[in-house]
A and B are shown apart, each in its own frame.
Chain A
């Protein structure tokens, strides 16, 4: 009976997570589709800064144009990378935009009006983390970093002066061709955009379903009190809240309200760690990231983000405690 109750609870949590995430995923796919239609392979992509620090900051700031959570950002980041945007911009957007957007900042302020430091520390920490992760991932060759279908799309969108024909995977073998990137690209038909967007949505939805199943099961069978038991210890509390952020998998637009529920029981560094790690690494996102990166790159992202957040949390505890 107890087992059946737990199964019924996990089923309901799964439905809650899924139904809450679908609108944001759809919004992300729609924005990616509209961007593809309005600015196909636009010249603006070539104007984005390629500097290792400026590129992720530019990507992070693009979050203000997409007030969605992390699920919606995945298809947009994929579109950016497939269109040939600098890696730093794509990853900066992916990792920081779920925090640097008006809805998330407003909800953080609404949840913690008496803690203004959090309203500053959260976007700053997210930007720092995005720069750190982008710099780290840029050390990997693209072939080891990006998922193979994305890599092919990205290579096709690169000008011939940057890649040879074999790397590009299509075209004529022979003398170098003139750079055709300056030519005005053709706008795709709306029908083609709908075709591609529907495929993208169903691909991402399948991965989202998988993530929600895992998150619901872990939430049901892992008592949350175990995670919060070490709330008072400076390092223990940070680690516990990081694990909670990974398990709970709620959207960045509402995670501040969830954090409010246990803010009094944990250290300030742990609170910030919860708000920083969730938008970058959680069980629901694990599947979605596979449309962007190879497993090794995902593992590096998860490990580096966790370490970065732990250090930021420790520093905040030293400063606040």
Chain B
């Protein structure tokens, strides 16, 4: 192995091990479920392992001569440590309020499924492809999602869908006829059982979930939907 010049091989090895561990830890600890779509998880895991191996090889070959570490590497390594120490805990409600609603149009599957088996996202897709709420009036509903407190209007029950990562998360929400004594807290995850009814919103007929039972639940392990 060549002699190390400039920033030492040992320091670089340590930094690569640190980054590799952070990336691998994000996969192993399940944090990635909150950040990225599932299809990317194995790719991220492999890159973490590759960084770890490359760092260990550098450490093995450069057991001395730590050299000077450039400050941009130090700053980014500090952020890497912070990522390890502070897990992501986004406000889904805040994120949703900052994005326009929008979902792809597949929808056919939602018609096939019995109403009580449709997820919240499938309900939204169905209502988008078939906007007449009368068609689903009286259907049983069994959904879960987080409380989305919008800047204007009543809170919705919602989910976030991602194509890639949290940066492109898009909300989809359903209107709920909340009981008079309910004060749903933003970001609270709820399981709602009830039936679909038709209500008026901004002068237009809209599908509204009428709950018969509302149960607080912990945030699901995989809260983002594809």
Contact = CB atoms under 8 A, between A and B. Distances in A.
A191 B4 CA distance: 10
Interface string A295-318: 000000000000000000000000
B36 A261 contact: no
Interface in B1-44: 1-2, 4, 6-7, 9, 12-13, 15-16, 19, 23, 26, 31-32, 34-36, 40, 43-44
B117 interface: no
Contacts of A192: 2
B100 A225 contact: yes
Nearest to B74: A206
A245 to B, nearest CB: 12
Contacts of A261: 100, 102-104, 163, 168, 170
Contacts of A13: 90, 165-167
Q: Is the interface of A mostly helix, strand, loop or mixed?
A: helix
Interface in B70-128: 70, 72-73, 75-76, 79, 83, 86, 88-91, 94-95, 97-100, 102-104
Interface string A205-231: 111011001011001100111001000
Given A195-B4, A215-B167, A15 B91 contact: no
Counting contact residues on chain A (CB < 8 A from B), the size range is 35 or more
B86 A219 contact: no
Contacts of B12: 195, 198-199, 202
A163 interface: no
A250 B168 CA distance: 8
Interface string A185-210: 00001011011001101110111011
A19 B165 contact: yes
B32 A19 contact: yes
A66 to B, nearest CB: 15
A20 B162 CA distance: 13
Nearest to A227: B100
Contacts of B46: 23
Contact of B167 (A191, A201, A205, A250): A250
A156 to B, nearest CB: 16
Contacts of A225: 98-100
Interface residues of B, number: 57
Nearest to A198: B12
B156 to A, nearest CB: 15
Interface stretch (A2-10, A73-81, A137-145, A167-175): A2-10
A249 B166 CA distance: 12
B167 A8 contact: no
B54 A20 contact: no
Nearest to B104: A260
Contacts of A26: 47, 50-51
Nearest to A229: B100
A19 B54 contact: no
A218 to B, nearest CB: 11
Interface string A44-79: 000000000000000000000000000000000000
Contacts of B34: 12
Given A199-B7, A254-B163, A8 B89 contact: yes
A198 B13 CA distance: 8
B54 A16 contact: no
B171 to A, nearest CB: 10
B61 interface: yes
Given A22-B23, A215-B167, 9 more contacts: A5-B94, A8-B88, A13-B165, A202-B15, A206-B70, A224-B100, A249-B167, A250-B168, A261-B100
Interface of B: 1-2, 4, 6-7, 9, 12-13, 15-16, 19, 23, 26, 31-32, 34-36, 40, 43-44, 46-47, 50-51, 54, 57-58, 61, 70, 72-73, 75-76, 79, 83, 86, 88-91, 94-95, 97-100, 102-104, 163-168, 170
Interface of A: 2, 5-6, 8-9, 11-13, 15-20, 22-23, 26-27, 30, 189, 191-192, 194-195, 198-199, 201-203, 205-207, 209-210, 213, 215-216, 219-220, 223-225, 228, 248-251, 254, 257-258, 260-262, 264-265
